[in-house]
Amino acid sequence: MKIPTKKLKTGFEMPVFGLGTWQMGGRKEHDLDNDDEADILSIRTAIDSGITHIDTAEIYANGYSEILLGKAIKGYDRSKLFLVSKVHAENMSYENVINSCKKSLERIETAYLDLYLLHRHNPDLDLKQTIKALDYLVEQDLVKNIGVANFNKEFLAEAQSYTKNKIVCNQVHYNLEFREPEVTSLLNYCQNNDVFLVAWRPVGKGNLLENIPSIVKEMCDKYQKTPAEIAINWLISQPYILTLSKTRNIEHLRDNLNAIGWEMEQNDIEKLRKEYPNQKNISDTVPLG
Ligand SMILES: NC(=O)c1ccc[n+]([C@@H]2O[C@H](COP(=O)([O-])OP(=O)(O)OC[C@H]3O[C@@H](n4cnc5c(N)ncnc54)[C@H](OP(=O)(O)O)[C@@H]3O)[C@@H](O)[C@H]2O)c1
């Protein structure tokens, strides 16, 4: 299956759906009991199913997720993949950003990243210097595009003001239940400023697929889709929104891919926006993943 893309006005294009790797190889530390083969196979199965956008980070399993990704992509045409990694907030000094990126490239065994993200804003470091390091990585062709994650709209605007390179995305927590980007107008800001909002945790780590609210059941009946397909499609049917989900389960992968290639009606998008129960909007923890 060919995953559709969305395009910024600048011409930059990204697939509407990608594969996450949080918890592949461990959580914050490398889990020595991890089933590496299962993780590698899940990445390869995703690529064989048409997924090109794969998201990782230097802190995932303390770098081990990147190593697994490197093993998984061996033998595939690199130019057809869209690989994303992130620099940890503690490594955002000018020198450390560059070092972190080079180490990620070594672990993934690739010459470049398609997109490199700041994992979150670090108020203790000079954002201007951090962005300067991202610009250097672009100049050196180690990174094709730059972006951020978990930035509010003020920091996103500030980051953009320091670079001629386009900040192409902000990767943030957003799903049917978690609505902070709507409440803070970050979503509107991205839509008005030609920036992709890449929604992480689209199925709430699977929690959105339990105790299905009646409004979702209604949509499942109307569109003949599963709750996961509704949750993912609700995101990507909205302008400027892309998403990525992690799965190691082939049935879940199929389910998630069935969310693609059709569009929910605008009135149903708005109905879900309004009527989905128990919406949350304040993140009470530092993002994990
Ligand atoms: N920038 C950030 O700070 C940040 C934060 C969090 C995440 N992320 C990125 O975004 C990606 C996605 O977020 P996430 O992994 O936290 O959340 P997610 O994709 O909503 O949830 C992943 C979990 O849900 C299960 N799942 C996936 N599809 C399913 C389906 N169709 N039916 C039932 N269960 C399903 C998976 O289990 P199975 O493996 O058993 O299918 C996995 O445990 C991450 O992997 C990571 O790359 C970024």
Q: Answer yes or no: is 43 within a domain.
A: yes
Which of 40, 201, 242, 254 maximizes ligand 1 atoms within 8 Å of its Cβ, making it the mutation to test the pocket?
201
Distance 65 CA to ligand 1 centre (A): 14
Percent of the chain exceeding pLDDT 90 equals 97
Q: Answer yes or no: is 244 within a domain.
A: yes
CA Rg, the chain, in Å? Answer: 18
Q: Answer yes or no: is 289 within a domain.
A: no
Q: Residue with the nearest Cα to atom 20 of ligand 1?
A: 201
Is the confidence at residue 287, as pLDDT, over 90? no
Q: Is 240 a catalytic residue?
A: no
**The pLDDT of residue 288:** 63
Is the confidence at residue 198, as pLDDT, over 90? yes
CATH number assigned to the domain comprising residue 122: 3.20.20.100
Is the confidence at residue 286, as pLDDT, over 80? no
Mean pLDDT, the chain, whole residue set: 96
Distance 139 CA to ligand 1 centre (A): 33
Q: Answer yes or no: is 3 within a domain.
A: no
The per-residue pLDDT for range 217-243, each reduced to its tens digit, is 999 999 999 999 999 999 999 999 999
Which residues does ligand 1 sit against, CB inside 6 Å? Answer: 20-22, 55, 119, 149-150, 171, 200-206, 209, 228, 244-249, 252, 255-256, 287, 289
* Total structural domains within the chain: 1
Does the pTM exceed 0.85?
yes
Q: Answer yes or no: is 1 within a domain.
A: no
What is the position in ligand 1's atom list of the atom closest to the CA of 204?
Answer: 20
The per-residue pLDDT for range 6-29, each reduced to its tens digit, is 999 999 999 999 999 999 999 999
Q: What residues make up the domain containing 89?
A: 15-211+240-262
The per-residue pLDDT for range 168-192, each reduced to its tens digit, is 999 999 999 999 999 999 999 999 9
Is 119 assigned a ligand-binding role in the annotation? yes
**The pLDDT of residue 284:** 47
Q: Answer yes or no: is 94 within a domain.
A: yes
